[in-house]
Amino acid sequence: MRYLVTAEEMRRYDTNTIEKIGIPGMVLMERAALAAKECVLKALEGFVPCAGGRRRSPEILVMAGVGNNGGDGLALARLLSENGFSVTVWCVGDKSKASEQWTCQRHIIEYYGVRFCDMPEEKYMVLVDALFGVGLSREVTGAYADAVRRFNELEGYKLALDMPSGICSDTGRVLGCAVRADATVTFGFGKRGLYLYPGCECAGEVCVADIGITERAFFDGPPGMFCLDEPEEAFALLPGRQGAGNKATFGKVLFIAGSAGMAGAAVLGARAAYRSGAGMVKVLTDEQNRVILQQAVPEALYGNYAEDQELEESFSWADVIVVGPGLGRSERAKHCLRAAVEWGADPDSVKPFVIDADGLNLLAEDEELQKQLAGQRREVILTPHVGELSRLTGLSVAQLKEGLWQHAEALAQRLNAVVAAKDARTFVCGAGRPVCVNIHGSSGMATAGSGDVLAGIIAGIWAQMYAGSEHEAEHEVCPDMAFWAACAGVRLHAAAGDAAVAQKGEYGCMAGDIAEALKIIKY
């Protein structure tokens, strides 16, 4: 996994590395400059400066503030000058307030062939942003805003050090104005703002450089957010396929989905559950959907959700229960959700429970049902998009987008559930757990039915985990199973989305393509 840190977490790890582990700050700064130099050389690949004027060296500009990020920039300017490049430093800020390490780097650079300027010209092949770095928390104004705007106006390849100046490293918010970089080299660990919108749109390609600040500096605990980089990390969470297993061995998923004329959600969810590895899938839906379902997913078992006995028998049969996709908000839909929640009130009925789509809308309308759900000991996963989360929390979509994961964490705490809050970045949150953010996928996945596919993938994965549990008690559930099932499901959903987009394009991708792409992902 990849850790994503806040400015405060990074400060702690930096301090721990210097004061507890004993690596001097100037050594870390030199290593940061060396990593940045490699990024510049990569950008200039094929252009080797020559001595004696036979070939003109590329002009490089370093915009440097007066903090430690500016110190990184000064060290980089020195290294590039030593490599034969023509380097100009544009200092922005009050030098009387410069950091100790900046002052040291400024003294060193006096002995190297680096020019300084008050205002840059329009002649640079590479421009380096070393103005603010991590920790900026207020709006960029005055001379600093003028510098950012001037930097953006200049042509050339733009590299940011640690963070594009003007981006909040904790949230990705633009603080008034921000540098728009082609690439960012960040040091030690990825910063949250480099991967969250809109910050990720200013960061360009992100390179995380090892400068000596490692997990050994986690004396007071690891970061509170991480992401799964590769699909293989999600696959590793799935139980191994038993050679002697049978269809029940790999989990049974029950969908209560699809009101009259809304068979598509049930079809997509059932297909995704099968494609993610579930051994058996049963769908309880409206009688009008029976023929469509049986033709589209003949492998799925069928039942009528209008029959209470069918509900009870199906609850007992399933390993994982999913309520909501395409279910509508009729009285029968309310009854199905209420029956599923109330069935979980039995201390022995701790089977996993996923609430999605209309199930969430119905839950938002019933505070008593929310209290009942929160008091149960079984694990629950909620999969709201921002509109559904708005109805569950009473907050506007705009308010939610200011800090989606914080509001999802609060809901997870209140309802005793794992919440996968879906947006351009999806956050998996659980009480007392770190936040898992998905940074993969694309706009091609923003299509009707994509959420139904995600619900099916999560349920299929969770059913395999549950059925494959090696606990002695028949229905004992690992405390973190719901959280990791949601993390793995979200990551595999993104991998399938990327595979589908590669085949169909961002404009042509449909939810069914995402479900079918699961079969071409290497498990």
CB contact at 8 A, 180 and 156: no
**pLDDT at 409 exceeding the cut of 50:** yes
Band (pLDDT 50/70/90 cuts) for residue 380 is very high
Which class for 486: exposed (0-12), middle (13-18), buried (19 or more C-beta within 10 A)? buried
Over pLDDT 70: what percentage of the chain?
95
Give the pLDDT mean for 475-496: 85
> Is residue 522 over pLDDT 80?
no
pLDDT surpasses 60 at 474: no
Question: Cα separation of 327 and 262, whole Å?
Answer: 8
Residues 130-178 have pLDDT tens digits of 999 998 989 999 999 999 999 999 999 999 999 999 999 999 999 999 9
- Give me the pLDDT at residue 479, please: 56
The pLDDT value recorded for residue 243 is 82
* 315, 321 contact by CB (below 8 A): yes
Q: Distance (Å, rounded) from C-alpha 137 to C-alpha 513?
A: 42
Which pLDDT score, from 0 to 100, does residue 48 have? 55
- The mean pLDDT of the chain is 93
User: Residue 126 pLDDT more than 50?
Assistant: yes
Name the CA dihedral angle for 397, 372, 451, 386, rounded to a multiple of 10 degrees: 10
CA separation for the pair 197, 155 (Å, rounded): 24
Residue 278: pLDDT above 50?
Answer: yes
Question: Predicted confidence band at 469 (pLDDT cuts at 50, 70, 90)?
Answer: low
What is the predicted pLDDT for the residue at 3?
Answer: 98
Q: State residue 50's pLDDT score.
A: 52
CA distances to 429, 476, 491 from 337, rounded to whole Å, are 23, 23, 27
The secondary structure of residue 385, as a DSSP letter, is B
CA 427 to centroid of chain Cα atoms: 6
What's the mean pLDDT in 353-376? 96
Could you give the CA distance from residue 306 to residue 336 in angstroms, rounded to a whole number?
Answer: 9
Burial of 15 (0-12, 13-18, 19+ CB in 10 A): middle
Burial of residue 193 (CB within 10 Å: 0-12, 13-18, 19+) is buried
- Percentage of the chain with pLDDT > 90? 86
Q: Using only the alpha carbons of the chain, give its radius of gyration.
A: 27
The mean per-residue pLDDT over the stretch 57-83 comes to 95
Task: Tell whether the model's pLDDT for residue 329 goes beyond 90.
Answer: yes
What are the tokens at 256? 């209560």
Beta strand 426-430 with 418-421: parallel, antiparallel or unpaired? antiparallel
The whole-angstrom separation of Cα 472 and Cα 260 is 42
